[in-house]
Chain A
Amino acid sequence: MNNDYILEIKEISKSFPGVKALDAVTFNVERGTIHALVGENGAGKSTLIKVLSGIYHAESGDIAIDGKACRFSVPSDARAAGISVVHQEIKLAEPLSVAENMFLGNVIVKHGLVDWKTMRAKAQEIINELGIDIDVNQAVSTLTIAKKQIVEIMHAINHDSKILIMDEPSATLTDHELKILFSIVKKLRDKGITIIYISHRLEEVFELSSATTVLRDGCHVATLPTSSLTKEKLISLMVGRELGQEYPKEIIPIGETILEVHNLVRKKILNDISFDVKKGEVFGISGLVGAGRTELIRTILGIDHYDSGEVILKGKKVYYKNFHEAINDGFGLIPEDRKLQGLIQVMDVKKNICLANMGKVLLNGIINRSLEKKYAEEYVKKLSIATPSINSEVQYLSGGNQQKVVIAKWLMRESEILILDEPTRGIDVGAKTEIYRLINQLVKSGKTVIIISSEMPEIIGMCDRIMIMHEGRKTGELMRNDVTQERIMAACV
């Protein structure tokens, strides 16, 4: 029980079915400092935050605030203990004013009536202290995102917070707004509030924090004074792991360019992206969540529209007004959200598998039961899909098997260019390897595969070429032999 530490985290573990999200994480946070928390996607940062804010219950381990052991059953317990969180997504009541939002859940009452005058005055006090230009009576909906974020921060600290956790606060800010954010964060620290700052932008870590904690694969890797770190050391702490998994990549002769994208621009989302993909390639698109990878694919496939640029398929310029046109031209997409976008949960396995290519099971325009059965059974066998029967509803299958059904659907469609968006997210190791083998089979049979993935070992293990994106721009491209995790991570941030 050290008086310098405002927060002591000891052996915190948290598991979900099939995944150990946090594994005996232990570290301490010094009082009155800005403490950075970094790690890749899936390292366990969000889970840890949720445990600290009372949203999740840790299955083992202890948390102590100011030396006192704490147990949070509900988020309000954490709030009462002095922990406040500013989340990535803005959660304000848009039509209400700044003052009203600041006191949301914490209204000042005088003689049984709400005391607006005092609340407005207090709100103004805080605003003046932080030196920001916001009108307390202004409706939140009229504010810029940066200012909304500031209101969120003020709402958070309004609860006598000792610890303020900020989850990727800078993700949507311009350079100028960043400066204002930084000055606010520093002022809060000077007032005695401890800040846990999560960010992928390593420059911020170096600018703001005095200590940095690195998580990797649910484990605590290191907690060090920021001054003792360099960007390279930090990156290698974040990614340094052994590629223990098997990536059954087979090198297959690569053909001519099949897809070219020139100078694709979509206001505020995609910034002049150009790349090409060759037939038979496994082309990877890497980057952090929010880099614009899914948006890029959606734009090329006609799901969303773009402002300028060109897409060229097999030498011919194409423009898709809707997704259906793209499918007819030979594209296939295994979407990010397999539950909601990939499958019709209440339909059975065989219907889902045949859905993208009904033409194959029609006989004189009528659905033929035995053709459906034949194809479904064929793919269930080929992909080793574990299901009680082809007539079972897909919602009863495990995540990995559901994903295989999605893949089966597009295999049946025989798409020439198959795009997989985070194909193995949340899937156990065994199923992952099977999916990788499928990808191999696909390219062996002449198809082309594009993989979007945040999992670096996967992208390094499976791809012939990797393009890295960051904030809507292409920041790098690496060939298979040149690739290392550090190189990718450096371009991601």
Chain B
Amino acid sequence: MAETMRHSSIRKVAKLMIKEYMVIIGIILLSIVFSLSSPYFLTWDNWKNILLQSSTVAIVALGQAIILLTGNFDLSLGRNLCLASCVGALLMKGQGIATVAWNPWLAAIIMICLAAFVGLCNGLLTAYVGLPAFIATLGTQYICYGVAKLITSATPIPKLPDAIGFLGRGFLLSIPVSVIIMLGLYAFAQFFSIKTRMGRNLYAVGGSKEAAFFTGINVKKYTLFAFVIAGTLAGIGGLVLMSRLNSVSLSNGQNYEFDAVIGSIIGGISLAGGKGKLIGTMLGVIFLITLFNGMSQIGIDPFIQDVLKGFVLVIAITIDVLSNKKRT
């Protein structure tokens, strides 16, 4: 009797671990498969690439994941990033809306604040006015894009100040700075979400808005909070991205909100809200980037990538829905 009980508890633990770390296993499996076909795949150079590419998406994905945790969704993150970057770049170079070149750090702060403000608008519309998040952020998405187009006259802005260059292109102890920023943000966010009362309340709001309300949690405040954080992260991501590309164009951040959702779901965040670990999102994004990196290396047509992204998304959501079947 004791034997069977121990076996069943081992099985339970194994099941738990597999679910939580499925992403890591996935990345390892992918690596094995790709390394067999491409000698270049397992080089540090390649992995540096993967991580660099992942970092900007992952930073934005963190914001999306937090919003997903509260049971909402933000369609405007990509264009928000774009608008903020455009404003930042124009300020830094003294072009367009700016008359003189601003201090690049001041410009950076302003652009992040602008992105946070967009998040604030999204949050107010969703939490206090009561619009469905989908609609509110859809509107904001278009507004951001439109304004970005206006202020840049749809012209890319190249060659940004060297001062901010190290964010996207610099290294600290051979690790890209952008990756360090990503890791730092995720470490803090993961800790905060699991270990603080506010983090617990975020999960509660996503788990059940009604029950959270009847426990005395201010649901509107937390909903707003999530959107503001996501906006801020979009601004930070925009800064890192523009530094890495050393330019800003209307395509900066395009579709990031969707890549963010896909990464979050692969990483275990439930679309229904209230479930999943934030750190999983980072791994989910890395998984996605690894997948596409590997595909390019073994010579798969890049145009198939969107098709593939769709497949991966559907599979991930199906797993999510099926494993949450019991929810009312």
Contacts and interface: CB of A to CB of B under 8 A. Distances in A.
Interface of A: 322-324, 327-328, 333, 335, 337, 339-347, 351, 355-356, 358-359, 362, 365-367, 395-396, 409
30 contacts: A322-B218, A323-B216, A324-B217, A335-B214, A337-B210, A339-B328, A340-B328, A341-B211, A341-B213, A342-B211, A344-B204, A344-B211, A344-B212, A344-B274, A345-B208, A345-B211, A345-B328, A346-B274, A347-B207, A351-B200, A355-B204, A355-B217, A358-B200, A362-B197, A365-B196, A366-B195, A367-B195, A367-B197, A395-B326, A395-B328
Contacts of A344: 203-204, 207-208, 211-212, 274
Contact of A345 (B197, B201, B207): B207
Contacts of A335: 214
Nearest to A391: B16
A324 B220 CA distance: 12
Contacts of B211: 340-345
Contacts, number: 74
Interface in B309-328: 324, 326-328
A139 B215 CA distance: 41
B143 to A, nearest CB: 31
Closest 4 CB pairs of A and B: A344-B207, A327-B216, A358-B197, A324-B216
Given A333-B214, A346-B275, A355-B217, 5 more contacts: A340-B210, A345-B207, A358-B197, A366-B195, A366-B196
Interface in B26-85: none
Interface string B191-232: 000111100110110011011111111100000000000000
A355 B200 contact: yes
B226 to A, nearest CB: 17
What is the predominant secondary structure among interface residues of chain A facing chain B? helix
A112 to B, nearest CB: 39
A351 B324 CA distance: 18
Contacts of A367: 194-197, 200
Contacts of B326: 395-396
Contacts of A351: 200
A72 to B, nearest CB: 27
A272 B262 CA distance: 55
A356 B274 contact: no
A491 to B, nearest CB: 29
Contacts of B275: 346
A396 B215 CA distance: 20
Nearest to A395: B326
B97 to A, nearest CB: 41
Interface of B: 194-197, 200-201, 203-204, 207-208, 210-218, 272, 274-275, 324, 326-328
A342 B196 contact: no
Nearest to B211: A344
A342 B208 CA distance: 10
B328 A356 contact: no
Contact of A346 (B195, B200, B207, B216): B207
Given A345-B328, A365-B196, A367-B196, A356 B215 contact: yes
A341 B215 CA distance: 9
With a 10 A CB-CB cut-off, give which of A335, A342, A358, A362 has the most chain B CB atoms: A358
A386 to B, nearest CB: 18
A323 B208 contact: no
A28 to B, nearest CB: 40
Contacts of B194: 367
A341 B207 CA distance: 11
B150 to A, nearest CB: 40
B9 to A, nearest CB: 10
Contacts of B327: 345-346, 395
Contact of B218 (A324, A362, A366): A324
Contact of A347 (B196, B204, B216): B204
Contacts of A322: 218
A451 B326 CA distance: 31
Contacts of A323: 213-214, 216
A310 B99 CA distance: 60
A324 B214 CA distance: 9
Nearest to B324: A346
A340 B195 contact: no
A406 to B, nearest CB: 9
A216 B212 CA distance: 37
A325 to B, nearest CB: 9
Contacts of B214: 323, 333, 335, 341-342
B217 to A, nearest CB: 8
B107 to A, nearest CB: 34
A340 B211 CA distance: 6
A192 to B, nearest CB: 44
Contacts of A366: 195-196
A393 B275 CA distance: 11
A337 B217 CA distance: 17
Nearest to B270: A346
Contacts of A342: 211, 214
Contacts of A396: 326
A344 B217 CA distance: 12
With a 10 A CB-CB cut-off, give which of A327, A341, A359 has the most chain B CB atoms: A341
A340 B328 CA distance: 9
